[in-house]
A and B are shown apart, each in its own frame.
Chain A
Amino acid sequence: MTLYELMAAPGRASEAVLNDTTPPEEQSALLTTMRGRLGEMRSAVRRGLESDAPSRTGMVGWNAKTLWERPDPLGAPLLKRVQAYAMAVNEENARMGRIVAAPTAGSAGTLPGALIGVGDELGFTDDALVMPLVLAAGIGDIISQTMFIAGASGGCGAEIGPSAAMAAAAVCELLGGSARQAVHAAAMALMNTIGLVCDPVGGFVEVPCVSRNAFYSVHAVAAAQLALAGLESFIPPDEVVSAMASVGRLLPPELRETGEGGLADTPTGRRIALQMAK
């Protein structure tokens, strides 16, 4: 299925994904497994908000708990919740805790940050989040047919980009968006991550990955808000995916998860790499 075909689905986009990918007799088992994965995501969020134990490098570990427990000077509780949830998952990941890759471990916080964060803030039950999660999986599946989802293949635009697109579509559907709106939410999220490089300090999935998940979970919610207002991506969604892939392939190896360029190639980044090599 293409995004163009998904966009034209008569009912909810998640139902179209389910029917396109899963035979009727297997759908109930798939939904049970998805419900289980949602539970795993929530459990990682909970552990991450409670812990301030540093990661092995000492670069991250306390960000989610700190944000969560501090006052909210902006008066924007949704913003704070989404960011805290996202970082909670990625800090659990950096501590070698148990998480759900969505679609990768390095981008694992964006989807639960946006989807569970919005769900909790607006009072949805976890059962209401399962079909949006199926849609998120479907969006990731479609993108992965054009570009392998990994920082190594196309920079962070090919990793946090798909995760933000998945999260945007999921949040859009949760809030009543049509298939067309959900797909445009994904496209708008993706088109605004094109060109992001993957430059993890020391090669660790910590800096900038933890804060990046916070930012791009908010980005996903913003894309859903635009789509729910009826705004659309001027470039058709499938063409946005192709553009993401072609820009990703143009990135030099130094900026594709080798830990050799960008933030990793700063004096501080090089110092951390040397320290940890000992």
Chain B
Amino acid sequence: MGLLEVIGPVMVGPSSSHTAGACRLALLARHTLLSPPTEATLTLHGSFAKTAKGHGTDRALAAGLLGYQPDDARIPEALTLAAREGLDLEFVTKDLGDVHPNTVQFSLAAEGETLTLTGSSLGGGVVRVFRVDGFEINFSGGYHTLLVRHTDRAGVIATVARVLADDAVNIATLHCARGSHARGQRGGAAMMSLELETPPSAHVLAYLAQLSAVAWLRLLPDVMQG
């Protein structure tokens, strides 16, 4: 943990993992969508499933989907505020298999798009997203995260890396995944997540977005500040 992760986050209680971490995961899901979600099914696993109400996990998840930070004083009222903002929330509990005890799966619908995203809250407010739309990628929310949904063919990863290098953007971590249905096939769907030390410029993002192999991309903010 970095010094400001040990003494931090500044947050609304009662639990760094079940409240602040849950809010951060929901913020990452919110930013993976282009517009605010209108429907959300939140599947809670393990300790999240068992102790969600007591820890305010339900309210923290709703708050993150509304775009609130973990220190936002509106978190205790987030379920009411979500209803007012037109966000239809459903909570279900389910065993998601061999994953961290504090795991949540978001199934979201917004205007013209849907998203599933799964992540875990590891403790102390530290989180990790490990699956987006079925692709096994991996990011922490502690950097500027670039998510790229692309065609699985030679040179795409190199092109993205080169364009970022030309913009002097350092890649901290990189995870690539093929969709499970495309295992062993070329030309199928793939995704990569890149954690970047500085945000790429707008024209770099625009250039990457128009590449024929790129279906879409999203730049997620660092949610570990504060």
Contacts and interface: CB of A to CB of B under 8 A. Distances in A.
A101 B14 contact: no
A86 B185 CA distance: 58
A203 B190 CA distance: 40
Contacts, number: 141
Interface string B186-206: 000000000000000000000
Contacts of A259: 50-51
Contacts of A144: 1, 6, 124
B10 A100 contact: yes
Interface string A113-144: 00000000000000000000110111011001
B17 to A, nearest CB: 6
Given A95-B13, A106-B14, A204-B55, A101 B3 contact: no
Contacts of B47: 152, 203, 257-258
A99 interface: yes
Interface string B97-124: 0000110000000000000000000111
B177 interface: no
A205 B7 contact: no
- Interface hub of B12, B20, B102 (most chain A Cβ within 10 A): B12
Contacts of A140: 1, 6-7
A105 B16 contact: yes
Contact of A137 (B4, B11, B14): B4
Contact of A101 (B9, B50, B102): B9
A101 B54 contact: no
A105 B14 contact: yes
A98 B71 contact: yes
B73 to A, nearest CB: 7
Interface residues of B, number: 36
Contact of B9 (A100, A138, A141, A258): A100
Contact of A97 (B3, B13, B16): B13
Contacts of B8: 37, 100-102
B226 to A, nearest CB: 10
A73 B122 CA distance: 43
Contacts of A276: 53-54
B4 A203 contact: no
A105 B6 contact: no
Interface string A19-31: 0011000000010
Contacts of A33: 4
Contacts of A150: 17, 122-124
Contact of B14 (A96, A134, A152): A96
Contacts of A277: 53
Given A106-B15, A258-B47, A276-B53, A137 B9 contact: no
A40 B12 CA distance: 12
A160 interface: no
Q: Which 3 A-B pairs have the closest CB atoms?
A: A150-B123, A93-B13, A203-B51
Interface of B: 1-17, 19-20, 47, 50-51, 53-56, 71, 73, 75-76, 101-102, 122-125
